[in-house]
């Protein structure tokens, strides 16, 4: 396996383990065994478990944002695009292995013990919020900056609630409820 492929293989194995079992419950030795690599190989790609966690977070976020963007761009109507994050979340919810938000789970486990990890998670959440603002701007061009920011913040918070609560309750009603509330606050006639 080439070096880049091996790095991606390690990230994939670690991602599956971190997302399914949790960051703290996943040991380096388990990653090494599942990846079928030597300890030296792991450490030649990642200096620490935290560095591997950053790679995991970035991989998950990139995949999520690419999927969300494709999903939203596939919708033709403004309302469908503005509410698309909830429809996308519903699709994610029904995929095998759905286990809530990778970033929220990770920060819940480590708290602020790792400034680098918590900063990465904050950056990812801000990136999602910025993306939502762009979707709103393109669909509601007459909104003021303040209105756009307020609406983006509301949709973001509804999404975060929906992903956490759907995972907690093992049901998709929180996604429906969040989408229903979002419909009431989106100014489209």
Over residues 30-87, the pLDDT tens digits come to: 999 999 999 999 999 999 999 999 999 999 999 999 999 999 999 999 999 999 999 9
* 3-class state of residue 98 by DSSP: coil
Is a pLDDT exceeding 90 seen at residue 96?
yes
Question: Hey, where are the domains in the chain?
Answer: 48-185
First to last CA, the chain: 55
More confident residue, 113 or 104: 104
The Cβ of residue 18 has, within 10 Å, a number of other Cβ atoms equal to: 26
DSSP structural state of residue 172: S
Angstrom distance (rounded) from CA 150 to CA 110: 30
What are the tens digits of pLDDT across the range 111-120?
877 899 999 9
Domain topology for 48-185: Tetracycline Repressor; domain 2 (1.10.357)
Residue 1: pLDDT band (50, 70, 90) is low
The Cβ of residue 122 has, within 10 Å, a number of other Cβ atoms equal to: 12
pLDDT at position 139, please?
A: 97
Is a pLDDT exceeding 70 seen at residue 189?
no
pLDDT at position 113, please?
A: 78
Least confident of 13-27, 83-97, 104-118: 104-118
pLDDT at position 188, please?
A: 75
pTM of the predicted protein model: 0.93
The pLDDT mean for the chain works out to: 95
What are the tens digits of pLDDT across the range 128-179?
999 999 999 999 999 999 999 999 999 999 999 999 999 999 999 999 999 9
Residue 170 has φ and ψ, to the nearest 5°, of 55, 45
């Amino acid at each position: 396996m080439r070096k880049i492929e091996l790095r991606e293989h390690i990230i994939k194995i670690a991602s599956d383990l971190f997302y399914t079992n949790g960051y703290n419950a996943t040991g380096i030795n388990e990653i090494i065994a599942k990846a079928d690599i030597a300890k030296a190989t792991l450490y030649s790609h990642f200096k620490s478990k935290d560095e591997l966690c950053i790679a995991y977070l970035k991989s998950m976020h990139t995949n999520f944002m690419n999927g969300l963007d494709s999903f939203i761009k596939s919708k033709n109507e403004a309302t469908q695009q503005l509410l698309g994050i909830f429809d996308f979340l519903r699709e994610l919810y029904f995929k095998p292995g759905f286990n809530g938000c990778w970033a929220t789970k990770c920060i819940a486990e480590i708290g602020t013990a790792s400034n680098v990890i918590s900063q990465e998670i904050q950056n990812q959440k801000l990136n999602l919020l910025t993306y939502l603002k762009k979707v709103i701007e393109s669909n509601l061009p007459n909104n003021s900056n303040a209105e756009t920011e307020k609406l983006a913040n509301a949709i973001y918070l509804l999404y975060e609630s929906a992903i956490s609560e759907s995972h907690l309750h093992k049901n998709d009603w929180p996604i429906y409820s969040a989408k229903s509330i979002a419909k009431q606050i989106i100014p489209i006639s």
